[in-house]
Amino acid sequence: MINVYIGYDHREAVAFSVLAHSIHNKASQPVAIAPLM
């Protein structure tokens, strides 16, 4: 499993969701995404 940490700001929640969705769609292995606040 690949761990990915993405910066998160509640004012930019949509950007976080779009990036997470894109990573899941393009990944060739399972990915765990964690927000950094």
Q: What is the full DSSP assignment across the chain?
A: -EEEEEE--GGGHHHHHHHHHHHHHH-SS-EEEEEE-
> Which range marks the domain in which residue 17 is found?
2-36
CB 29 within 8 A of CB 1: yes
Q: How many whole angstroms separate alpha carbon 30 and alpha carbon 9? A: 24
Q: How many whole angstroms separate alpha carbon 30 and alpha carbon 24? A: 8
pLDDT tens-digit series, residues 17-37: 999 999 999 999 999 999 999
Residue 37's pLDDT is 92
- How would residue 12 be classed by pLDDT, with cut points 50, 70 and 90? very high
Task: Please state the domain count of the chain.
Answer: 1
pTM: 0.84
